[in-house]
Amino acid sequence: MAPPGPEGGRAAAGAVAPGKKITARIKRTLPVKGPQAPTLSELMRWYCLNTNTHGCRRIVVSRGRLRRFLWILLTLSAVGLILWQCAELLLNYYSASVSVTVQFQKLPFPAVTICNINPYKYSSMKDYLSELDKETKKALETFYGFSEGKSKVRRSVDEWNSTGSDFFKQIPLLKFEDFSKTATDLRSGQKRKIEGSVFHKDSSIVNSGDSNDIIGFQLCDANNSSECALYTFSSGVNAIQEWYKLHYMNIMAQIPLETKEKLSYSADDLLLTCFFDGLSCDKRHFTRFHHPLHGNCYTFNSGENGTILSTSTGGSEYGLQVVLYIDEADYNPFLVTSTGAKIIVHDQNEYPFIEDIGTEIETAAATSIGMHFTRSRKLSKPYSDCTETGADIPVENLYNKSYSLQICLHSCFQKAMVDSCGCAQYAQPLPAGAEYCNYKKNPNWMYCYYRLHEKFVKEQLGCQQICKDACSFKEWALTTSIAQWPSAVSEDWMLRVLSWDKGQKINKKLNKTDLANLMVFYKDLNERFISENPANTLVILLSNFGGQLGLWMSCSVVCVIEIVEVFFIDSLSIVMRCQWQKAKKWWNDRKRDRLGKPPQAGDLERQGHDNPVCIDEDLPTFNTALRLPLPQDSPLPRTPPPNYSTLRLETAFTEQLPDTLEVGQH
């Protein structure tokens, strides 16, 4: 055989195998499938035939409408169950389980704050309260006809008016009959029509006068006398006490703090004896802090010196034991109506809210308070709406103690008080740059305070919505028991000894009603730790997802990735490609119309996937593609599908392909 010539060599070098050329022509002719499909319907058919989820494939390959409908129904039901179960798993993922751990160990002793119920010595306060006390006694004479304990001696109105009464001018006391808007001014004796909202405060104390008579007072806006509020009480005792406290706070707000500390009880005045853990203690173990409503209070084991006492044994013998001197004879008769002391057990970093959660201690009795210690820990977001340190709460902490819900609520109300009324309420700490309310500088503060407090109680200030619970806190559950003390047989010698111990400060024999015995101790040393733990971790959540997908759809992670690829990425690309083709066609038509050119022949040629003979519900295979008929009344496609049953190519190709010729001659 002779070697091939130059032209034959070039033909052989550029030749392509017949099989590959036929395969390429068939691929160009058959409809495009998969991610390159031109329409969403073709993409969905390709996905259903190639996915790993059996239900989708059955929808396409099933023959008969009933069978296909059943597979559609089953597949959609499975998808719905998956969505439902996955939603339940997500909800359970953000739930928490509570675990309780009990440990027996040496426990730190809490701080114990003790206050006398009477905040200031009445003998020291008489100069400040003399005018207020006189008018209060006048009111009692007018209301109930008694003075200094002697009843039925009514005071005439003229006699009262002749002496003057500034306090009743500021807040007049009124007597209402049958809940009507007609009231009698107890100062002038005149009846008048009263306008304003009525706020009735019921009392557990029985009214000492006529059951139909209601005592109260009226508060009006100093800037608008038509804006008034009536506060009524079913008991004259409560009405007079509330009226007295308003004037009392106004007076105390004008006294400097240093002076008020001297007017209240010292540690030597309050404490007679002290024992802790079987050892003697004294006033050096107590820290003084001044409470606006309770005067000087004293905290045992406050931790201010950096040392916190602890106990290793439970029982009353190893706790705190103190004997308190109450001095009932020096009580303010109008401010407080009970005798004794108030205590609160709290953590060293917590503020003692005596007025809210304090426990009262009786005189002439031994009060034993057993404690159980519990530490609690809650999960923060997204499991609960608690706060770790309070830094995320938009309320300034006025107490300089660790965050708590009570601190937040009181601070929020005080801030609203300063913003609305221009001054601060006396019972709470002062914000920076603010002053306590008093008549001289703020004549409208009482009406403003009552209106603001009404909104606070009705949760209209927004404080309850802003403030959150703390995520971690300590709690001491208290069990209180009371016994008579001292006993009848030991009363004589105990009072003599205590009077001798106290004789350096007072010149009288003590009475048992002046004393209170207090014991605070751990009932056991079991520390209970309550914590919240996530009910589900991320690993468990993913495992549950996988189980649900495998159970209902026989699907795996790869299947999920496939769904994301087809239904999101590929579908989006097809939509964008169709829009691009429409825009391109519109632009070409517009350009052609502008230039006035006739349509080109190439524009009429059909692409492979536009061939109408290739459009079928079933996916064409290689064998069916070979038997596809040519379209009628239509020009021959540019790349028609092969139409042969053997290797003969007469129909589609009239000439022998160059790459099938013999390469050389022998």
The span from the CA of 367 to the CA of 360, in Å, is 10
**H-run or E-run covering 625:** helix 622-626
Mean pLDDT of the chain: 77
pLDDT in the model for residue 240 = 85
pLDDT in the model for residue 63 = 73
Contact 232, 198 (CB under 8 A): yes
Q: Is 138 helix (H, G, I), strand (E, B) or coil?
A: helix
Cis-peptide into 382, omega within 30 deg: yes
State pLDDT tens for residues 284-304.
999 999 998 999 999 999 988
Cβ-based neighbours of 516, under 8 Å, separated by 6 or more:
323, 324, 326, 340, 341, 361, 362, 363, 364, 365, 367
Q: Is 364 left (phi over 0), alpha (psi -120 to 50) or beta?
A: left
pLDDT in the model for residue 178 = 58
Q: Is 481 left (phi over 0), alpha (psi -120 to 50) or beta?
A: beta
pLDDT in the model for residue 86 = 78
504-to-267, 275, 508 alpha-carbon distances in Å: 14, 21, 10
% helix, strand, coil for the chain, step of 5: 40, 20, 40
Other CB atoms within a 10 A radius of the CB of residue 274 amount to: 20
State pLDDT tens for residues 599-654.
555 454 444 444 444 444 455 555 555 555 655 555 555 555 555 554 454 444 45
pLDDT in the model for residue 545 = 76
> Across-strand partners of 273?
323
Burial class (CB in 10 A: 0-12, 13-18, 19+), 445: buried
Return the structure tokens found at 379.
Answer: 């999960």
Other CB atoms within a 10 A radius of the CB of residue 123 amount to: 11
The span from the CA of 275 to the CA of 272, in Å, is 11
pLDDT in the model for residue 542 = 72
Read off the amino acid at residue 650: E
Angle between helical axes of 65-93 and 54-61 (0-180°, round to 10): 160
Tell me which DSSP letter residue 660 carries: G
pLDDT in the model for residue 612 = 44
The span from the CA of 266 to the CA of 295, in Å, is 10
Angle between helical axes of 538-553 and 557-564 (0-180°, round to 10): 80
Q: 111-116 and 341-346: which strand pairing? A: antiparallel
The span from the CA of 279 to the CA of 300, in Å, is 14
CA-wise closest residue to 530 among 352, 317, 378: 378
pLDDT in the model for residue 164 = 44
Burial state string for 492-507 with b = 16 or more CB within 10 A and e = fewer than 16: eebbeebbeebeeeee
pLDDT in the model for residue 109 = 94
Q: Is 564 left (phi over 0), alpha (psi -120 to 50) or beta?
A: alpha
Q: Is 324 helix (H, G, I), strand (E, B) or coil?
A: strand
> What is the dihedral sign for C-alpha 427, 204, 114, 299?
negative
Cβ-based neighbours of 548, under 8 Å, separated by 6 or more:
81, 82, 85, 86, 89
541-to-80, 90, 378, 381, 549 alpha-carbon distances in Å: 19, 8, 21, 18, 12
Cβ-based neighbours of 63, under 8 Å, separated by 6 or more:
none
Contact 246, 446 (CB under 8 A): yes
The segments of the chain whose pLDDT lies below 50 read 1-4, 6-14, 149-164, 202-211, 602, 604-617, 646-647, 649-653, 663-666
Return the structure tokens found at 441.
Answer: 């500088």
pLDDT in the model for residue 26 = 58
CA-wise closest residue to 267 among 348, 319, 322: 322
Burial class (CB in 10 A: 0-12, 13-18, 19+), 11: middle
pLDDT in the model for residue 606 = 45
Start-to-end Cα distance in the chain: 2
Other CB atoms within a 10 A radius of the CB of residue 102 amount to: 10
Tell me which DSSP letter residue 278 carries: T
pLDDT in the model for residue 359 = 92
Burial state string for 365-393 with b = 16 or more CB within 10 A and e = fewer than 16: bbbbbbbebbbbebbeeebeebbeebeeb
pLDDT in the model for residue 199 = 54
Tell me which DSSP letter residue 601 carries: H
Q: Cα-Cα-Cα-Cα dihedral of 578, 580, 586, 589, to 10°?
A: -100
pLDDT in the model for residue 2 = 46
